[in-house]
Amino acid sequence: MSSIKQFQVTFDCADPERVARFWCEVLGYVVPPPPEGFATWDDYDRSLPPERQGSGFVCMDPSGVGPRMYFQRVPEGKVVKNRVHLDVRVGTGLVGEERLAALEAECARLVALGAVRGRLLLADDYNESCQLMQDIEGNEFCLD
């Protein structure tokens, strides 16, 4: 059996392009070029049947290292806590006040983009501090 080398993270959401562009800002990701034969993603989107227009959007790591992220429109809203979430690693290797300062700086940046600050979980005997957050549609993630 071969091992998988790449994977995609898929988000269910109401407004795929808006959520994708938020995550581009969070992670430094980019929107890939439109499909061959289309000058822009808007041109491609207009070529789809009306019920499919605006139904999906993609962003990717410009270095090609991180996973591709796909955002798909779904009719139902978010109603419960995510079973899977992203940890945005901004404090790796930092401890104590230095880690808290890094988490706070990134939290402030993301709140300005529309994220919602959650609880700050302080370090204990097993885990370092992390900041709970929600994206612009309420999906939970952590600043770690």
The partner residues of 132 in beta bridges, in order of sequence, read 142
Half-sphere exposure of 134 (CA within 13 A, CB side): 12
- pLDDT-derived band at 1 (thresholds 50, 70, 90) equals low
Task: Judge contact between 91 and 103, C-beta under 8 A.
Answer: yes
* The pLDDT of residue 77: 83
Task: Judge contact between 21 and 11, C-beta under 8 A.
Answer: no
pLDDT tens, residue by residue, 42-96: 999 999 999 999 999 999 999 999 999 999 999 888 888 888 899 999 999 999 9
Phi then psi dihedrals of residue 88, to 5 deg: -90, 110
What is the H or E stretch that residue 25 is in? helix 16-27
- pLDDT-derived band at 34 (thresholds 50, 70, 90) equals very high
